[in-house]
Structure 1
Amino acid sequence: MIAWVLYDIENDSVRNKVAKYCKQAGLYRVQFSVFLGTLEKNQKDTLQLQIENLIAEDKDSVYIFPMSKNELQQTVLLGKAFDKKLITDEVKALFL
């Protein structure tokens, strides 16, 4: 599945660890607190558990949104945007 991970995390150390986990999962950073990429279900579950164990649930917000490839192709990118071609299974395999 294609997944967006968006977060608003107060603590710098926790925020950096969440970004590290997103990168380790193969996600591509599209903004400072926004990642996008292809995840298998077990990868999403692992990432979710890692993040849940780090964040302060009363202060921090993290969203993991699934998206189909068709929906990604229909997105509108304005201004300085990411390259949609980077978010595919083939490219992700090159970065592992």
Structure 2
Amino acid sequence: MDVLLIYDISEDKVRNKVAETCKDFGLHRIQWSAFTGKLNHNLREELMLKISRALGGSGGNIRLYPICSKDMKLFREINRVGD
């Protein structure tokens, strides 16, 4: 299933750990604090456990949204590179 993971973490070191963990799970960065990719249920749970450990006692907000294939078919993107 496709997923969207977004986060707001103030500490650079922790934020970088979370980003690297997302990449380790095959997710692709679409914004500085947003990743997307395909993960099954077990991998989603494992990813959130690892991110929770990386967050430790630091403050932060991490959200993982599963997106069904029907909704992914409705996906649209505008990606322009300015002058």
Q: How does 1:1-96 map to 2 (within 5 A)?
A: 1-55=1-55, 59-80=59-80
Superposition TM-score, scaled by structure 1 size: 0.75
Q: Secondary structure at the match of 2:54?
A: coil
Structure 1: runs of 5 or more not aligned: 81-96
Q: TM-score, normalised by structure 2?
A: 0.85
Q: Write the distance in 2 (CA, Å) between the matches of 1:28 and 1:13.
A: 19
Q: 1:44 to 1:19 in 2, by over 3 A?
A: same
1:56 to partner: Cα distance: 5.5
Shift of 1:28: 1.0
Unaligned runs of 5+ in 2: none
Q: CA RMSD in A?
A: 1.7
Which ranges of 4 or more aligned residues in structure 1 deviate by more than 3 Å? none
